Amino acid sequence: MSVITEKTSRPSTTVWVALLLLSVGTISAYSLVGINQALLFLIGGALGMTLYHASFGFTSSWRVFIKERRGRGLRAQMIMLALAVLLFFPALSAGELFGNPVKGNVSPVSMSVAIGAFIFGIGMQLGGGCASGTLYTVGGGSARMVVTLLFFCLGSVIATSHLDWWFNLPHLAPISVIDQFGVAPAILLNLILFAVIAFITVKMEKKRHGSLETVSTSQIHGWKRFLQGPWPLILGGIILTLLNFATLALAGKPWGVTSALALWGAKAVSTVGIDVSSWHYWQQAGNAKALNSPLWQDVTSMMNFGIMLGALLAASLAGKFAPNLNIPKRSLIAAVIGGLLLGYGARLAYGCNIGAYFSGIASGSLHGWLWLICAFTGNSFGVKLRPFFFPGEKPQPEKLSSC
């Protein structure tokens, strides 16, 4: 078992900048919208810090398993989902949580989901991240991921121009396993599926390597480790689930990411004279209201801002905030293409790895499982494309986290 040593240093200027922006954002959200919006902004900050310190990347976990059959990241996701269904299913069945009405992310099972998730999966590997991954790496100082994020927004708004066509492709009505089977059977069914997936990763990893991947240890402990990281991967998944559950309680819906990116893109292109309000997507009541309202009133936007600032704080505390503008040309092209695919695919699939996969499965939506299958297939295809854009990439597992 190896030991990781970390450098420690005094808080940098960016630590104080991150704390200042988080404080200003919280006070502003409270003043302009209310206490729930302020709390959701802070939850976004906690999500960003967790994602960064735990290195909880869906994209890297899937790539490592596809290329090297190392399944630690996938098993952490199954533990995260298992805890999520245990928390979410009873609340969603009751229709309320702590006295507030709640509703899950239950969407149609459709061709648009299958195609969109596949496209999104390719984008994950070319863009270098998923939806949450893009946000927290941007906050952590990755200049390349800023490019991915910009084109993620552009791809999202392009998709909204003709979503009505995609959504009219063959589809089934939204299917909730909670409604179909009841809470207890639905939980049991999901837990069995998570266990089967985890078991398959263990068998495949042992077959390839003879044993499971050893976990590195850290010499940093206590509060210093909490502030500077790294956090155990499984702990990161547990915290993400608890924060998602808190989001459900405060917002009345689970955590999502990409609807805000479509909104940001729509507002941006509107400034150059493109009338997105005439598009069917932006004429729907909720989307029209968001388009015509300030961003601070949009829950998902505020949480996304919080994620980036939380990651900025985490990276600064860890002494790793060091933006690098020297981006290879092919990597830059991959960021552009990947961002467009991420944005376009997310809208077709009713969400991303968070809204459709994590929150979708936590909501008991069958479309979340369809998303998982098709997105994983897309990732497999995207991994095969990576050597062209990243010729120097070594065929070895990426570091996911330390514990």
Greater confidence, 215 or 116?
Answer: 116
Q: How far apart are CA 227 and CA 215, in angstroms?
A: 20
pLDDT at 86 exceeding the cut of 90:
yes
- The lowest-confidence range among 2-11, 72-81, 102-111 is 2-11
Residue appearing with tokens 């996969």: 357
pLDDT at 401 exceeding the cut of 50:
no
Is the pTM higher than 0.75? The answer reads yes
Q: How far apart are CA 19 and CA 313, in angstroms?
A: 7
DSSP string, 185-248: HHHHHHHHHHHHHHHHHHHHHHHHHSSPPPPPEES--HHHHHHH-PPPHHHHHHHHHHHHHHHH
Question: How many CB atoms lie under 10 A from the CB of residue 220?
Answer: 19
* Closest by Cα among 140, 64, 192, 151 to 307: 140
pLDDT at 53 exceeding the cut of 80:
yes
Average pLDDT over residues 10-35: 93
Torsion over CA: 306, 308, 311, 313 (sign): negative
Q: How far apart are CA 306 and CA 351, in angstroms?
A: 19
pLDDT at 220 exceeding the cut of 80:
no
Alpha helices by DSSP H, listed for 33-162, are 35-53, 58-68, 72-94, 111-127, 131-139, 143-160
pLDDT tens-digit profile of 274-327?
Answer: 999 999 999 998 999 999 999 999 999 999 999 999 999 999 999 888 888 889
pLDDT at 6 exceeding the cut of 50:
no
For residues 276-314, b (16+ Cβ closer than 10 Å) or e, as one string? Answer: beebebbeeeebeebbeeeebebbbbbbbbbbbbbbbbb
Neighbour-count burial of 190, counting CB atoms closer than 10 A to its CB (0-12 exposed, 13-18 middle, 19+ buried) = buried
The DSSP symbol for 176 reads B
Percent of the chain with pLDDT over 70: 94
pLDDT at 224: 82
Average pLDDT over residues 145-172: 95
* Closest by Cα among 208, 213, 44, 40 to 139: 44
At residue 215, what are phi and psi to the nearest 5 degrees?
Answer: -100, 125
Residue appearing with tokens 């390719």: 122
pLDDT at 403 exceeding the cut of 50:
no
Mean pLDDT of the chain: 92
pLDDT at 393: 72
Q: What is the CA radius of gyration of the chain?
A: 20
Percent of the chain with pLDDT over 90: 84
State the first-to-last Cα distance of the chain, in angstroms, to the nearest integer: 11
Average pLDDT over residues 327-353: 96
Amino acid identity of residue 395, one-letter, is: P
pLDDT at 147 exceeding the cut of 60:
yes
